[in-house]
Amino acid sequence: MHFFSTLFAGLFFGSGLILSGMANPTKVQNFLDIFGTWDPSLAFVMGGAILVTAPGFWFVQKRSTPFFHDMFHLPTRNDIDARLVAGAAIFGIGWGLGGLCPGPAVTSLPFATSGVLVFVPAMLVGMSLAKLTALPSRKTIPA
């Protein structure tokens, strides 16, 4: 059950992305192209997701713990810092350039289009680089 829940969560997520058209980078870029070939579909994807997630989270968190784990891991910070804004700004530039964000990029891997095969390794490198720059300030490195 433990693993099935995560496997199905991944499967539903990927299926949702494909059904909604978000695995198609051109469709995502068209959402961002409000002064050109605008396609508002992505707003409906976010709307549909939030319509399920918001009440779902509220209902689930009435429990004291999740089903297969001892606690909820909820982000607790509420300060707006430069890292958050800079990170989101950089993310948005890359998202606009390629029309891909992490979910659709991983989901599209099995199609093996050359663009995705270039994008995903580059994305993993970018993630590791960001972890590398963020780590030393938070953790003390053992000598």
Partner 1 sequence: METEFTPFASLLGGGLIGLSAVILMASHGRVAGISGIVSRILPPAIDTKGLPQGLTFIAGLLLAAPLWFGFIGQAPVVTISSNMALLGLAGILVGFGAVLGNGCTSGHGVCGISRMSGRSMIATATFMTTGVVTVFILRHVVGG
What part of residues 23-42 is at the interface with partner 1 (CB under 8 A)? 23-27, 29-30, 32-37, 39-42
Q: Which residue has the tokens 């890359």?
A: 94
Q: Pseudo-torsion of CA 116, 43, 96, 27, nearest 10°?
A: 50
65 belongs to the binding site for partner 1 (CB under 8 A): yes
Of 11, 12, 8, 45, the C-alpha closest to 28 is 45
Residues 70-99 contacting partner 1, CB under 8 A: 71-75, 77-80, 83-99
- Write down the least CB distance from residue 143 to partner 1, Å: 17
* Nearest alpha carbon to residue 113 among 124, 126, 127, 99: 99
Cα torsion 48, 49, 51, 55 to 10°: value is 160
Comparing CB distances to partner 1, the nearer of 25 and 143 is 25
- Per CB under 8 A, 137 contacts partner 1: no
95 to 124, contacts with partner 1 by CB under 8 A? 95-103, 105-111, 113-116, 118-124
Q: Which is nearer to partner 1, 130 or 143 (CB)?
A: 130
